[in-house]
Amino acid sequence: MTRIVQHPKRTLWVQAYIPEVIRGLYTTLRHFLRGLFKYETLPTIPYPVIKPPIPKDYRSKHRLLKRNDGTPRCVACGMCAAACPARCIKLEAGESADAFIEKKALCFEVDYSVCVFCGLCVEACPADAIRMDTGETSFVHNNREAFVSRETL
């Protein structure tokens, strides 16, 4: 069964949206005057000087973890590069000097101009060698080559 909802009649004053235009202008004027005379009360942060707090689980720039002896945990399996939907991770594998480790990463490269910061590389890593918890969120460079982060291990 259908239900009919009765709406109140709209007068010419309401149809002209004059009260809403006046409310909008009042809000705009109030914000303008607050910024003009009480600037310190605005909810803003002077960004380059003071950086905003970043949550602990926020995905930021990648970092490779190291073992207790200082060698990288990465075993160059390529799972992070395979899981990456943007194909921005490149690995170069080489022989390891340790008899218990088959191979190691010689070069680990991330192209941040393409990276979507999805975190799939972190989840795919079987050695828990890569994390995205550096807290670096601002990437400003003058050329594209500077967006490529290379770690030679």
Q: Which tens digit of pLDDT belongs to each residue from 98-112?
A: 888 888 889 999 999
Q: Is residue 9 part of a domain?
A: no
Q: Is residue 27 part of a domain?
A: no
21/13 Cα distance (integer angstroms): 12
Query: What share of the chain has pLDDT > 70, as a percent?
Result: 100
Domain that holds residue 117: 63-152
Q: Is residue 77 part of a domain?
A: yes
100/137 Cα distance (integer angstroms): 37
Q: What is the DSSP string of 10-34?
A: PPHHHHTTHHHHHHHHHHHHHHHHH
Domain count across the chain = 1
Could you tell me the pTM of the whole model? 0.67
Q: Is it the case that residue 24 has pLDDT exceeding 80?
A: yes
Q: Is residue 99 part of a domain?
A: yes
144/6 Cα distance (integer angstroms): 60
Provide the residue type at 109 as one letter: E
Provide the residue type at 100 as one letter: F
